[in-house]
Amino acid sequence: MSEPSSAMNKPRLLQHGRLLPALEAQLAEHFDLHGLWREADPKAFLARHGAEFVGLATSARFGADAALIDALPALKVISSFGVGTDAIDVARSQARGIQIGYTPEVLNDCVADTAFGLVIDVARGLSASDRFVRAGQWLQGNFPLTTRVSGKRLGILGLGRIGQVVARRASGFDMDVRYHNRKPNPAVPYVYEADLQALAAWADFLVVVSAGGAETRHLVSADVLAALGPAGFLINVARGSVIDEEALVHALETGAIAGAGLDVYADEPRIPQRLLTFDNVVLLPHLASATHETRKAMGDMVLDNLLAFFRSGQVTVGVPAA
């Protein structure tokens, strides 16, 4: 196949959702790019022009559902900015022979850093104590005692690429690590716990780093939260769908768990109002991978996947076949 940037007629690429400005500029340089968000009636636009597009640039947030994929009959490649594929209809894409590129590995460190930042923040009350100082409350007395992190027990739900980096971070804090996956990973030195409730009951901190999607929806249930207990903390840097959010709010209201550190939510960017009322909850705006370095690397991979496909017929880093 020809090099996109040198072709007289650049491949027609649809962009679903905004991306980094620098990445959008690069895509426009190499492709005949059209932003779907510009259309007042996207469905009508796709009915008229959907057959023109051979490529789709999207993100883990916006994905590509069955309706969008079906509206693009000439589609051959999807390049997604992100590691999550739960918003992409992978089965529909692969059944049509559409390749899916994504951006694993490059965000592992920053997501793991954020997870550990949440562990420390919620246990030691860093954000809460900052509010305490700013409100002038230190003048009336000391901030309450908090919970030590070093030497505690860290349970990880989802010991994939990011989960393993979280586990390595824990070694610097002399923490005991166990994990729960669908099946044990013989290549890691950590204890495997086949039952998630048992892992929660054991852990002082339960860190959620699993994939999203139907298979993991509400995996962290009311029963798991009850097992984590009034001295246990929940951390989520995965997907909001993995946690039963209503059960989490109830657990916080009743003191069933000690606190939570959350970077993701069920209906982003809308957060349940009740979550905003807890001083023992740290709330981040889905920023785990949001560093200049990581986002640039992700953008580079989105472009590389597309360029590689139009050169050779294969994306550089693709979603494995289901």
Q: Using one digit for the tens of pLDDT, what is the confidence trace for 83-133?
A: 989 999 999 999 999 999 999 999 999 999 999 999 999 999 999 999 999
Whether residue 127 is found in the same domain as residue 241: yes
Do 128 and 268 lie in a common domain? Answer: yes
Known catalytic residue at 34:
no
What's the domain range around 305?
4-106+292-312
Q: Which of 16, 30, 286, 295 is catalytic?
A: 286
Do the Cβ atoms of 284 and 305 come closer than 8 Å?
Answer: no
Beta strand pairing call for 12-15 and 205-208:
unpaired
- Omega before 269 cis (within 30°)? yes
pLDDT digits (tens, 9 = 90+) for 249-302: 999 999 999 999 999 999 999 999 999 999 999 999 999 999 999 999 999 999
Kindly tell me if the per-residue pLDDT of 8 is higher than 80. no
**Peptide bond just before 186 cis, omega within 30 deg:** no
Residue 225 pLDDT > 50, yes or no?
yes
- 147: in domain: yes
On whether residue 320 sits in a domain, the answer given is: no
Query: Would residue 321 count as lying in a domain?
Result: no
Taking all residues of the chain, what is their mean pLDDT, rounded to a whole number? 95
Q: Are residues 233 and 264 in the same domain?
A: yes
Q: What is the CATH number of the domain that holds 226?
A: 3.40.50.720
User: Which listed residue (215, 253, 268, 293) is catalytic?
Assistant: 268
Pick the catalytic residue: 30, 239, 245, 295?
Answer: 239
Instruction: Check if 286 is active-site.
Output: yes
Find how far residue 113's CA is from the centre of its chain.
Answer: 13
Residues 259 and 113 in one domain: yes
Identify whether residues 157 and 268 lie together within a single domain. yes
* CA 41/CA 52 separation, integer angstroms: 17
For residue 134, being part of any structural domain is answered with yes
Task: Answer whether residue 317 is part of any domain.
Answer: no
Give yes or no: residues 273 and 151 share one domain.
Answer: yes
Query: How open is the CA angle 159-63-43, to the nearest 5 degrees?
Result: 165
Q: Give the residue-averaged pLDDT of 193-218.
A: 96
Record the pTM: 0.91
Q: What is the pLDDT of residue 145?
A: 98
Tell me the β-bridge partners of 281. Answer: 260
What pLDDT digit, counting tens, does each position of 127-164 carry? 999 999 999 999 999 999 999 999 999 999 999 999 99
Tokens at 49, concatenated:
């022009």
Q: Answer yes or no: do 301 and 216 share one domain.
A: no
Task: Indicate whether 125 and 168 sit together in one domain.
Answer: yes
pLDDT above 60 (res 34): yes
Identify whether 85 is part of a domain.
yes
Total domains, the chain: 2
Compute how many other C-beta atoms are within 10 angstroms of the C-beta atom of residue 63.
20
Mean pLDDT of 66-93: 96
pLDDT band at 5 (very low <50, low <70, confident <90, very high): very low
Is 105 a known active-site residue?
Answer: no
**306 and 212 in one domain?**
no
Distance CA 64, CA 318 (A): 15
Distance CA 114, CA 11 (A): 38
